[in-house]
Chains A and B, each alone.
Chain A
Amino acid sequence: MPRISVLDMPDVPNGQLPPHIQLQKTRVFCEKNAPTHTDYVQHHGSYTSMDVHESLIENFHNNFKVNVIRLTSDVIEFDMIGIDASLANAFRRILISELPTMAIEKVYFVNNTSVIPDEVLSHRLGLIPLDADPRLFEYISDESSSSSNERNTIVFKLNVFCKDNDKRISVKSNQLKWLPKGSQLNSETDGGGNEYTSFRCSQDSPEFSHKPIGLKHDDIIIAKLGPGQAIELEAHAVKGIGKTHAKWSPVSTAWYRMLPEIVLMKEIENEMAEKLVKKCPVNVFDIEDLGAGRKKAVVSNPRACTLCRECIRDEGWEERVSLRRVKNHFIFTIESTGSLPPEVLFTEAVKILEEKCEAVIHELSF
């Protein structure tokens, strides 16, 4: 009897995964009760027995693609194709918590007779998005911890009051006035004359910044004042990251989802097709006329699928419709709060990951 190697399987194509395994490797199956095959097999040797040696890194340059879908002054939506979730997630995490912005951190009250307590008002001020490029500034703790100068602090002044017999007024964010020359308050302990900041030059000089620093939105309500009430304060903004406090996060959201893929496993015709089209709340399916009064369901807009699973909820539909997600296709959305445009935020996030790598490579060289 001739000897046959166990690996010699003529019906299994060599150097290629069997179709069902290939499918399980590249798709998440969203079934009625739970998704299956959600993991990505990362180890390079996982399919060695089938003579498959593929490395995402080697072909990355050729396979990786970005398609911009939508780009406005504060939102970008783009497709990232051919990347692993670990990298996509690293970018998302950096966007949310490690990209610096400027936000109000210290508030000096001169007077506050409004109904909002000082600490609540300070917190509200902190959350107001500022229109200042954080790349022009340094962290305040970088060199000297105590001195605030034009390189690390932005000062705003708020001085509002409601006259005795007036109606109640709203204090809006546009009443915060930028002080490019630094603080105007005198410190009480040093016998006056000593300011809280020591600016060597004014921040509105053209070499410092091309546009004046301000607030992203003019109509954020900060407080309400009744007759006779007043607020006078100075707010100092510094550079920070979202890990410390969410007010420094440059994005309101940064998120991704995998591309939905919907496959009709059987022909769905006539009334069944109509039923299917009606089931989907976001109109993923459409009807194609086959002529002679026959109609058939087709998948016309899989991208809109929210994965509500309504179409497979009823008895018998799970065999007809297969809901999947493509594991290496990410639909990434970034909403900026305004300090930097969203496309710049993404490149900055990628740069931060590179810097992290470089820092560790540097450490390893010792």
Chain B
Amino acid sequence: MEEGLRENSRSFTFSLVNEDHTLANAVRFTLNQNPMVELCAYSIPHPSDNIVNIAIQSTDKSAKAVFNDGLQDLRSMCQIVRDSFDKSVNDFRAELQESSESKN
């Protein structure tokens, strides 16, 4: 799924097979928010290849560790989204029920 083009450990390009803008753009966002990241960008070399390249240059840690952090951040953001979404749906249902009960 992933292979790197090794230049040095702080500058790395990761190629993800079978991924597209969905993951690459989201992880680029979380990486760019990370103070360890000097540069992060992604590209899809050709639209008919199912491959996406993510380039990362980091300051303190190795690019691989930073990439890992970015993915962890994205995953925890997803969990927060899921939790607050579930909570809102439940609240909305409870409210609906209350209002329909008070009508009866």
Contacts and interface: CB of A to CB of B under 8 A. Distances in A.
A61 B29 CA distance: 16
A356 B22 contact: yes
Instruction: Report the contact-size class of chain B (Cβ under 8 Å from the partner).
Output: 35 or more
Given A66-B85, A347-B86, A360 B1 contact: yes
Interface in A342-366: 343, 346-347, 350-351, 353-354, 356-361, 363-364
Contact of A356 (B23, B28, B68): B23
Contacts of A224: none
Interface in B1-49: 1-2, 16, 19-23, 25-30, 32-35, 37
Contact of A71 (B16, B29, B30, B92): B92
A363 B64 CA distance: 11
A44 B73 CA distance: 14
A80 B27 CA distance: 19
A104 B74 CA distance: 35
B70 to A, nearest CB: 9
Nearest to B68: A364
Interface in B84-104: 84-89, 91-93, 96
A87 B19 contact: no
Interface string A331-343: 0000000000001
A86 B34 contact: no
A44 to B, nearest CB: 5
B81 A83 contact: yes
* Most A Cβ at <10 Å: residue of B32, B34, B87: B32
A67 interface: yes
Given A71-B93, A347-B82, A364-B64, A86 B71 contact: no
Question: Which applies to chain B's interface (DSSP): helix, strand, loop or mixed?
Answer: helix
Contacts of A86: 25-26, 28-29
A57 B30 CA distance: 7
A43 interface: yes
A13 interface: no
A15 interface: no
A360 B92 contact: no
Interface of A: 42-45, 53, 55-57, 60-61, 64-68, 71, 76, 78, 80, 83-84, 86-87, 89-91, 93-94, 98, 343, 346-347, 350-351, 353-354, 356-361, 363-364
Given A68-B89, A89-B22, A90-B25, 16 more contacts: A42-B32, A53-B35, A60-B77, A66-B87, A66-B88, A68-B91, A68-B92, A71-B89, A84-B29, A347-B85, A347-B86, A354-B79, A357-B23, A357-B75, A361-B72, A361-B75
Report, nearest first, the 5 A-B pairs whose CB atoms are least far apart. Answer: A68-B92, A86-B29, A42-B32, A66-B88, A357-B75
